[in-house]
């Protein structure tokens, strides 16, 4: 279909002729999922935008550029785009219009129809090259053009997904190619020759394959042998921890910054026993990314991506042996048979009905090890338990009883009493003052966000590796090999920088609440007080989660420290309970 772009007519032409718009804000976006260079993408989008406004005497005075975000995210969920929308409502925003270098990167699906009314409401123009200047919100032709570009953006993303998935399926099945990601525990990456794409090969890109890791491959063989010798998951995990063998997260801490690495877990043993790649076959498509609506009652909020397991019938197996096997096919199939029999023939993860509703599920932390306490029931009484094997304590030099218990009935009444007291009407003024004073300064000071700290750790590790690789090159190391190493580390570093910048942008958008803001928030606590007094356990559980409670149990002093952080607010208290170890 061919669409003739209409010439700019009144009122857009009049605005252009009178040079009303002199100060512009530039908005752009780049996704790093397909290895795009954020700097190059920003430069060409900015050049295209500048070429559009310069004939009209316009200049760009500020920029908003989102990095590493999918176009499917609505503007309100993109940090920089959200700042554009916030600036529109500010009379002192410092610009008169917004220019976009390419609408397909800015708008996806129906996002234009949801965003343009906000620009019109505040009298801020929106310029795009595809209409030759400012969009006329009253023009049906302009609206049609922008809607088409939104549809093209959505269609392009869908086509790319189909092409990529089809290509990866054939590469995994026919070639047995390693398609990226973290190598399974027991393997490491090895060079597999130049990339078959001539352009990528010229840039130094190379393929990789899996080879047994001398340090961890024997551990995998030991796990399979122990399981076939009638040892359970927990017995295997305890034996490996007792022998001082690093767990997968401890063996590769840089790529598992979110895990403690304190010892072997039953889940790690089970995942190794269930991984078919140890048979030497390449297996792909075990998981998929599903886009799920954030709110079915407000589709404009968009989707969030969730990883979900595919049925085994959907897994793609290589036709050939792609890498050296660590276990035989017969042993692997026998292990799967035993695992299925121990699970009484279950083929799926069916959710079982919970016999008891635990009010504080997921909110209790152990003060000795910092882990979440498990919900547990004994003699029809609800408890929270931290089970810490002796081998974990020895490996991490932690003085921790094997089991720590605290009864729910000893916590909830004291917790409700404190909440009712703190948010009582005659105490609200003092509570609001404490909430305001306890807020961390936004944008500076305070603690570093976990996402930023993890990214900084990876960046520091990459910098250290780059220094080491340069030293190897200076000492006469193979240039091609060193170049491959440096390319991989630079890609890993770029991803960490993008993650850090994204987290920093989200942190920057948070603001310190004034006392009036907190007063309006606390005003809604009347319903919370009524719920605490009258509700059943399910209602109280919802209240605790709305207040974002975190309860840390110290078994030595029989005390629980309670922290409530509703939104950006903070308050704390310590109560004594009757629990014990």
- CA atoms of 194 and 178, how far apart (whole Å): 13
Residue 175: pLDDT band (50, 70, 90) is confident
- Which tokens is 236 given? 């295997």
**Residue 107 pLDDT greater than 80, yes or no:** yes
Whether 569 is covered by a domain: the verdict is yes
Asked if 53 and 16 touch (Cβ cutoff 8 Å), the reply is: no
CA-CA-CA-CA torsion for 207, 212, 213, 217, nearest 10 degrees? 150
Instruction: Please return the burial class of 346, using the count of CB atoms within 10 Å of its CB with bins 0-12, 13-18 and 19+.
Output: exposed
Shared domain check, 260 and 204? yes
- CA atoms of 249 and 267, how far apart (whole Å): 12
pLDDT for position 4: 39
Shared domain check, 524 and 418? yes
Shared domain check, 204 and 69? no
Candidate ranges 59-73, 293-307, 449-463; pick with highest mean pLDDT: 59-73
Whether 549 is covered by a domain: the verdict is yes
Please name which of 321, 152, 81 lies closest in space to residue 144, comparing C-alpha atoms: 152
Residues 6+ apart with CB under 8 A from 47: 101
Whether 216 is covered by a domain: the verdict is yes
Domain ranges, residue 400: 364-439+516-576
- CA atoms of 391 and 264, how far apart (whole Å): 9
**Residue 533 pLDDT greater than 70, yes or no:** no
Percent pLDDT > 90 in the chain is: 17
pLDDT for position 558: 82
Determine how many CB atoms are found less than 10 A away from the CB of residue 568.
Answer: 16
In the chain, the largest separation of any two C-alpha atoms, in whole Å, equals 85
Whether 35 is covered by a domain: the verdict is yes
Whether 350 is covered by a domain: the verdict is no
In the β-sheet with 23-30, what is the strand arrangement from edge to edge? Answer: 59-67, 23-30, 97-100, 125-128, 133-134
Whether 348 is covered by a domain: the verdict is no
CA 91, 93, 96, 100 torsion: positive or negative? negative
CA 108, 111, 115, 120 torsion: positive or negative? positive
Shared domain check, 398 and 311? no
pTM of the model: 0.54
- CA atoms of 421 and 419, how far apart (whole Å): 5
**Residue 148 pLDDT greater than 70, yes or no:** yes
Among 59-63, 117-121, 567-571, the least confident range: 567-571
Shared domain check, 145 and 25? yes
Whether 246 is covered by a domain: the verdict is yes
Distance from chain centroid for Cα 4: 42
Shared domain check, 484 and 418? no
**DSSP per-residue letters across 147-210:** HHHHHHHHHHHHHHHHHHHHHHHHIIIII----SSPPPTTEEEEEEEE-SSHHHHHTT-EEEEE
**Residue 145 pLDDT greater than 50, yes or no:** yes
**Residue 156 pLDDT greater than 90, yes or no:** no
Shared domain check, 99 and 60? yes
- Helix (H), strand (E) at residue 133: strand 133-134
361-377 average pLDDT score? 82
Shared domain check, 224 and 325? yes
Shared domain check, 419 and 276? no
Shared domain check, 96 and 76? yes
pLDDT: which is higher, 492 or 309: 309
Pick from 111, 141, 157: which residue ends a domain?
157
Residue 258: pLDDT band (50, 70, 90) is low
Whether 331 is covered by a domain: the verdict is yes
Per-residue pLDDT tens for 337-346? 998 887 544 4
Per-residue pLDDT tens for 409-449? 888 888 887 777 766 666 666 766 766 665 555 444 445 56
**Residue 113 pLDDT greater than 70, yes or no:** yes
The tally of domains found in the chain comes to 4
Residue 579: pLDDT band (50, 70, 90) is very low
């Amino acid at each position: 279909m061919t669409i003739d772009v209409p010439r700019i007519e009144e009122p857009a032409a009049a605005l252009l002729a009178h040079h009303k718009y002199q100060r512009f804000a530039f908005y752009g976006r780049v996704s790093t999922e397909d290895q795009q260079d954020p700097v190059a993408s920003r430069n060409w989008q900015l050049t295209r935008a500048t070429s559009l406004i310069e004939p009209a005497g316009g200049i760009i005075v500020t920029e908003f550029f989102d990095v590493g975000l999918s176009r499917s995210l609505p503007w309100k969920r993109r940090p920089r785009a959200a700042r554009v929308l916030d600036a529109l409502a500010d009379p002192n925003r410092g610009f008169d219009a917004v220019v976009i270098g390419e609408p397909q990167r800015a708008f996806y699906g129906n996002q234009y129809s949801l965003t343009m009314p906000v620009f019109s409401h505040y009298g801020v123009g929106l310029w795009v090259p595809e209409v030759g200047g400012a969009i006329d919100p009253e023009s049906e032709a302009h609206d049609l053009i922008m809607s088409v570009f939104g549809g093209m953006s959505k269609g392009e993303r869908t086509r790319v997904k189909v092409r990529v998935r089809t290509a990866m399926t054939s590469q995994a099945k026919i070639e047995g190619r390693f398609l990226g990601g973290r190598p399974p525990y027991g393997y490491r990456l090895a060079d597999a020759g130049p990339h078959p794409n001539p352009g990528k090969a010229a840039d130094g890109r190379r393929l990789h394959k899996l080879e047994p890791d001398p340090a961890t491959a024997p551990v995998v063989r030991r796990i399979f042998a122990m399981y076939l010798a009638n040892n359970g998951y927990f017995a295997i995990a305890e034996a490996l921890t007792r022998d001082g063998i690093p767990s997968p997260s401890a063996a590769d801490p840089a790529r598992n910054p979110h895990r403690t690495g304190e010892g072997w877990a039953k889940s790690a043993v089970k995942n190794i026993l269930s991984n078919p790649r140890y048979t030497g076959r390449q297996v792909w498509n075990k998981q998929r990314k599903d886009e799920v609506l954030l709110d079915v009652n407000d589709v404009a909020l968009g989707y969030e991506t969730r990883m979900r397991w595919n049925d085994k019938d959907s897994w793609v197996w290589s036709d050939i042996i792609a890498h050296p096997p660590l276990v035989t096919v017969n042993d692997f199939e026998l292990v799967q048979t035993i695992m299925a029999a121990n699970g009484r023939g279950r083929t799926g993860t069916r959710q079982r009905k919970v016999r008891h509703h635990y009010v504080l599920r997921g909110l209790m932390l152990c003060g000795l090890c910092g882990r979440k306490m498990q919900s547990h029931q004994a003699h029809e009484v609800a408890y929270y338990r931290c089970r810490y094997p002796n081998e974990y304590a020895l490996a991490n030099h932690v003085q921790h009883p094997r089991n720590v218990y605290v009864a729910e009935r000893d916590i909830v009444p004291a917790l409700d009493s404190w909440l009712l007291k703190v948010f009582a009407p005659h105490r609200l003024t003092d509570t609001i003052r404490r909430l305001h004073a306890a807020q961390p300064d936004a944008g500076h000071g305070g603690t570093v966000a976990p996402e930023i700290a993890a990214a900084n750790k990876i960046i520091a590790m990459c910098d250290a590796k780059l220094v080491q690789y340069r030293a190897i090159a200076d000492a006469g190391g193979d240039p091609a090999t060193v170049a491959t190493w440096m390319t991989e580390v630079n890609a890993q570093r770029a991803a960490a920088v993008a993650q850090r910048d994204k987290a920093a942008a989200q942190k920057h958008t948070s603001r310190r609440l004034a006392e009036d803001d907190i007063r309006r928030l606390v005003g809604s606590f009347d319903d919370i007080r009524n719920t605490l007094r009258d509700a059943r356990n399910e209602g109280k559980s919802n209240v605790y989660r709305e207040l974002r409670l975190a309860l840390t149990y110290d078994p030595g002093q029989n005390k629980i420290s309670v922290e409530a952080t509703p939104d950006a607010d903070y308050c704390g208290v310590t109560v004594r309970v009757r629990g014990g170890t």
